Structure 1
Amino acid sequence: MLFHVQMDVQIPHSLDPEVAAQLIAKEKAYSQELQRSGKWRHIWRIVGEYANYSIFDVEDNAELHQLLSNLPLYPFMKISVTPLCRHPSSVREDDS
């Protein structure tokens, strides 16, 4: 199943900068692992914001929830999820 996920990150200014840096490094490693596995198919930064639009390709809602809730920055995120399906007018065969 494909999902469009918007993640808005709001790290509190009161968080220790070293802790924030460690969380950001763990987040990068985890997200790149998911990208290499094919679960996190696309990620785009939203210009001028600490946010992204992403496409996930997972088995079901439960798997997506597990992946998202394991993000190190999850406690500091506002997340919106939209399920997707292939459009009948698409000319691409690999977008299902």
Structure 2
Amino acid sequence: MLFQVRMDVNIPLDMPVEKANEIKAVEKAYSQELQAKGTWRHIWRITGQYSNISIFDVESNEDLHNILQGLPLYPYMNIEVMALNRHPSSIRDNDS
């Protein structure tokens, strides 16, 4: 199942820089592991914002939910999820 996920990050301004940097480093490693597995297919930064648009390929809604809750920055995010389905007018035979 493919999902588009928008993640807006809002780290508290009073969080110590060292703690924020540590969380970001763990987040980066977690996301890159999922990218290497093909679960986190794409990630794009939204220009001018601390936000991204990502594409996930997972087995179920619950799988995506668990992945998102596992993000170290999850407590500081607003997340919007949109399920994706192949469009009948697409000229592509696959998701590439």
Q: Which TM-score band (shorter chain)?
A: over 0.9
Aligned to 1:39: 39
Cα distance in 2 between the residues matched to 1:15 and 1:76 = 11
Query: What is the deviation of 1:94?
Result: 2.0
The answer as to 2:17 corresponding to 1:17 is: yes
State how 1:1-96 maps to structure 2 within 5 Å. Answer: 1-95=1-95
Alignment RMSD: 1.1
Q: Which amino acid aligns with 2:33?
A: E
Query: What is the deviation of 1:76?
Result: 0.2
Cα distance in 2 between the residues matched to 1:28 and 1:92 = 31
Q: Which amino acid aligns with 1:18?
A: E
Cα distance in 1 between the residues matched to 2:62 and 2:95 = 21
| Identity across matched positions, percent | 61
Task: Give deviations 1:15-44, integer Å, cap 9, x for gaps.
Answer: 111000000000111001001101101110
- The alignment partner of 2:19 has SS state of helix
Q: TM-score when scaled to structure 1?
A: 0.96
**Alignment gaps of 5+ in structure 2:** none
Cα distance in 1 between the residues matched to 2:75 and 2:66 = 13
Q: After the TM superposition, list the runs of 4 or more consecutive aligned residues in structure 1 that deviate by more than 3 angstroms.
A: none
Cα distance in 2 between the residues matched to 1:94 and 1:43 = 19
- The alignment partner of 2:12 has SS state of coil
Q: TM-score when scaled to structure 2?
A: 0.96
Q: Which amino acid aligns with 2:82?
A: T
Query: What is the deviation of 1:95?
Result: 1.3
Length, aligned pairs only? 96
Q: Which amino acid aligns with 1:76?
A: Y
